């Protein structure tokens, strides 16, 4: 009887040790796997943002070309964004790349959780008989709104020219 | 409780035995590691594709800018050709002027008019092919050229992949 009790106790102890070792191993390996998943998520976000930035820049470039370099016409063709006092066309997007209306931006100006995440800027200029524009798509860190809008990390940029024949 | 031939008692154990936890953990970890690695590989492939697409688009717009510059220079050069000498002579002079200044151009006569064509390389496999029709100006301020084609063409050699045996219909 005593032997049986000892054997059962020994088996339970062995199982407990195995369980502890298994939990430890699982914790270690899952920490590595979670890091891999997190890295994959960040890379995926990066490529999604690059693709979206590229599409928006191309769309703006084609509007500029179709308008033969006329900014107001390009703005009408693009159908989103605002013309600034500096003579640029600016479109702001939220985290899901939806264009934000000016009214939304004005309402929430200065808030910590500002909805704008990305910004497209089309800045036209004149060079040697052709109209050209620098198109830039940037990430906009709106959390720094208290210190003024902080622009950083250019996602994509290109130059485009339109001839007015 | 059961009894074997020797009369010793054998207890039937229910629940998880020793080793089963290890097997389960190893299986779960293998699955987890496989999926994590696959998602990372897939994300990297997507990023690589996006970067190549961005590079390709930048190359296209670089070529597009050069093509627009060339077109503007061409329009300027043709602007000084005198149209008073008549339509036929005007087109001849335009062709001469264009070919003198831009040796990469090709001038063709089409329908009694003049068509100028040129190509700008985008990368080693693509080029931007531009076709411009020279217009006869009725008045001094009229446009001298109009775009009739502006397209991307394949310039690299196409190599057919014949490594896979395909059914030929026999």
Residues B112-138 pLDDT 10s: 788 889 999 999 999 999 999 888 887
pLDDT value for B48: 97
pLDDT value for B99: 80
Q: What is the pTM of this model?
A: 0.80
Banded model confidence at residue A74, pLDDT cuts 50, 70, 90: very high
Which of B28, B54, B61 is opposite residue A50, by nearest beta carbon? B54
Q: In this predicted model, what pLDDT tens digit does every residue of A20-43 receive, in sequence order? A: 999 999 999 999 999 999 999 999
Banded model confidence at residue B81, pLDDT cuts 50, 70, 90: confident
Judge whether residue B2 has pLDDT over 50: no
pLDDT value for A93: 92
pLDDT value for B11: 52
Residue found by looking up tokens 């602007």 in the block:
B79
Of residues B118 and B77, the one with the higher pLDDT is: B118
Chain B positions in Cβ-Cβ contact with residue A25 (cut-off 8 Å): 25, 29
Judge whether residue A106 has pLDDT over 70: no
Contact A54 B28 (CB under 8 A): no
Distance set, CA A36 to CA A49, A50, A130, B134 (Å): 20, 21, 49, 60
Q: In this predicted model, what pLDDT tens digit does every residue of A40-69 receive, in sequence order? A: 999 999 999 999 999 999 999 999 999 999
Of residues B133 and A122, the one with the higher pLDDT is: A122
Structure tokens that stand for B160 in this block: 């057919």
Helix (H) or strand (E) holding B29: helix B20-79
Beta-strand runs (E) in B57-155: 106-110, 113-121, 126-134, 145-154
The contact set of A with B (CB < 8 A) is: 4, 11, 14-15, 18-19, 21-23, 25-26, 29-30, 32-33, 36-37, 39-41, 43-44, 46-47, 50-51, 54, 57-58, 61, 128-130, 132, 156, 158-163, 165
Contacts of B129 (CB under 8 A, 6+ apart): B117, B118, B119, B149, B150, B151, B152, B153
pLDDT value for B14: 52
pLDDT value for A41: 96
* A36 vs B95: CA distance, rounded Å: 63
A33-42, B68-77, B82-91, range with the lowest pLDDT:
B82-91
Banded model confidence at residue B154, pLDDT cuts 50, 70, 90: very high
| Residues A118 and A54 sit within 8 Å (Cβ to Cβ) | no
Q: In this predicted model, what pLDDT tens digit does every residue of B29-40 receive, in sequence order? A: 999 999 999 999
Judge whether residue A152 has pLDDT over 60: no
CB pairs under 8 A between A and B: 113
Average pLDDT over residues B82-95: 77
What percent of chain A is predicted at pLDDT more than 70? 80
Average pLDDT, chain B: 84
pLDDT value for A148: 59
A80-84, B2-6, B72-76, range with the lowest pLDDT:
B2-6
ipTM of the complex: 0.80
């Amino acid at each position: 009887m005593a032997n049986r009790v000892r054997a059962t106790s020994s088996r339970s102890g062995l199982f407990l040790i195995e369980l502890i070792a298994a939990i430890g191993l699982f914790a270690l390996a899952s920490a590595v796997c979670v890091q891999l998943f997190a890295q994959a998520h960040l890379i995926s976000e990066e490529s999604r943002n690059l693709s979206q930035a590229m599409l928006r820049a191309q769309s703006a470039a084609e509007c500029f070309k179709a308008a033969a370099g006329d900014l107001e016409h390009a703005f009408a063709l693009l159908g989103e964004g605002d013309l600034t006092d500096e003579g640029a066309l600016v479109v702001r997007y939220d985290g899901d790349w939806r264009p934000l209306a000016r009214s939304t931006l004005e309402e929430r100006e200065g808030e910590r959780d500002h909805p704008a995440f990305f910004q497209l800027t089309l800045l036209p200029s004149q060079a040697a008989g052709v109209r050209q524009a620098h198109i830039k798509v940037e990430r906009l860190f709106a959390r720094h709104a208290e210190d003024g809008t902080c622009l950083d990390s250019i996602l994509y940029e290109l130059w485009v020219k339109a001839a007015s024949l | 409780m059961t009894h074997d031939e020797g009369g010793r008692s054998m207890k039937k154990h229910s629940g998880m035995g020793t080793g089963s936890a290890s097997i389960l953990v190893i299986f779960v970890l293998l699955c987890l590691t496989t999926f994590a690695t696959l998602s990372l590989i897939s994300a990297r492939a997507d990023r690589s594709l996006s970067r190549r697409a961005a590079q390709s688009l930048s190359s296209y717009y670089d070529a597009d800018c050069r093509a627009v510059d060339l077109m503007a220079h061409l329009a300027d050069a043709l602007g000084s050709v005198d149209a008073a000498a008549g339509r036929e002579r005007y087109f001849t002079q335009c062709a001469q002027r264009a070919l003198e200044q831009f040796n990469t151009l090709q001038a063709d006569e089409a329908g009694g008019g003049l068509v100028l064509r040129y190509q700008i390389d985008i990368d080693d496999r693509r080029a931007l092919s531009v076709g411009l029709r020279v217009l006869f100006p009725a008045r001094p301020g009229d446009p001298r050229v109009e775009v009739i084609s502006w397209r991307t063409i394949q310039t690299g050699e196409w190599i057919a992949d014949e490594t896979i045996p395909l059914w030929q219909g026999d």
